[in-house]
Amino acid sequence: RKEVEQDPGPFNVPEGATVAFNCTYSNSASQSFFWYRQDCRKEPKLLMSVYSSGNEDGRFTAQLNRASQYISLLIRDSKLSDSATYLCVVNPYSGGGADGLTFGKGTHLIIQP
């Protein structure tokens, strides 16, 4: 089983719609979770961290379900500028040393006018 799995998409969504995607992770001891955004041929940038209680930042809502080992990202009132690849990222660090963040392969989102 891959460590971090995402549906690669593409998700083709009309402007103004709500879209959600999930990501599953295999390491139950993972400590922290993030969504990064990557535009075509650009570097990844942090979109939001994902806390156990769930968190919201404007049109974006992230949730963590530790029991089922998945995180989700919900985008409301989608904009053309939301078109990008969204990377699910997990920090497996458990005190034994830094092994690096584990990145999913990304979900490609296309917002259509």
Partner 1 sequence: IAGITQAPTSQILAAGRRMTLRCTQDMRHNAMYWYRQDLGLGLRLIHYSNTAGTTGKGEVPDGYSVSRANTDDFPLTLASAVPSQTSVYFCASSPRGLAGGWDEQFFGPGTRLTVL
- Residues of this chain that bind partner 1 (CB under 8 A): 31-32, 34, 42-46, 49, 87, 91, 93, 95, 97-101, 103-106
Which of 36, 8, 17 lies closest to 108 in space, CA to CA? 8
State which residue, 76 or 91, has the beta carbon closest to partner 1: 91
How far apart are the two ends of the chain, measured CA to CA in Å? Answer: 37
Smallest distance, partner 1 to C-beta of residue 18, A: 26
State which residue, 67 or 98, has the beta carbon closest to partner 1: 98
State which residue, 21 or 78, has the beta carbon closest to partner 1: 21
Smallest distance, partner 1 to C-beta of residue 16, A: 30
Q: Output b/e per residue, 84-94; b: 16+ Cβ within 10 A.
A: bbbbbbbbbee
